[in-house]
Structure 1
């Protein structure tokens, strides 16, 4: 039994690029980082749902503008999911190495994307 536990401790969890560096941080910080990751995933799902809903529902917006806005929302959803993963990795690595936490990335890009999608929808509604 002790041999099995020692082998389990030797295994590096995924992703090894994060867990091989530094030392284990306070679990509360890692769990907070995980909650932030999950919040980004929820944001990603919301963007994807908005894009799909624009195309699936009979929204009174001119077709070209509606499709463009839906495309922007889908792109934002995919970008948010990628940001969730890389943001989690960067933050977890900083926690493990006792470094300053990285600044939020892509916040301005996502905000601008939402503004662009809404402007496309408003123009398409009144076109």
Structure 2
């Protein structure tokens, strides 16, 4: 497999920074796998939980969030690698905002469902 065009630009960065960037990318991938696992888990229990439509929608939302974060993690890794090669400032990423908003949304829905269940509704 040949190297992508962007990886030939600029100068090779210090390998320590490249490896740190790669470790951060892998941490994001682990996060996306955990979110995907939660989506699959919710889907497995969607037939036993009520309301089924809300649980299924949460499962789909989590799986979609996982896919989006995975793509954005790669783009973040590539953009940082390119910035280091070209001696530019590090780019800003939307990953943190997307993960925060997604987690708050899922947490809020699950909190309402759990309160409803706990109160016998």
Please say if 1:41 is aligned against 2:32.
no
Corresponding residue for 1:51?
39
**Structure 1: distance between partners of 2:100 and 2:50:** 22
Contact 2:12 2:85 in 1 (8 A): yes
**Structure 1: distance between partners of 2:18 and 2:36:** 27
Corresponding residue for 1:23?
11
Specify the structure having the higher radius of gyration (Cα): 1
Contact 1:61 1:121 in 2 (8 A): no
Please say if 1:86 is aligned against 2:75.
yes
**Structure 1: distance between partners of 2:50 and 2:110:** 7
Corresponding residue for 1:95?
84
**Structure 2: distance between partners of 1:39 and 1:61:** 33
Gaps of 5+ in 2: none
Q: TM-score, normalised by structure 1?
A: 0.81
**Structure 2: distance between partners of 1:32 and 1:70:** 32
Gaps of 5+ in 1: 1-11
**Structure 1: distance between partners of 2:63 and 2:106:** 10
Deviation sequence 1:16-70 (CA, Å, 0-9, x none): 22x1210001000000011011011101101100100011136644212211211
Corresponding residue for 2:62?
73
RMSD: 1.9
**Structure 1: distance between partners of 2:111 and 2:49:** 10
SS in 2 for 1:65: helix
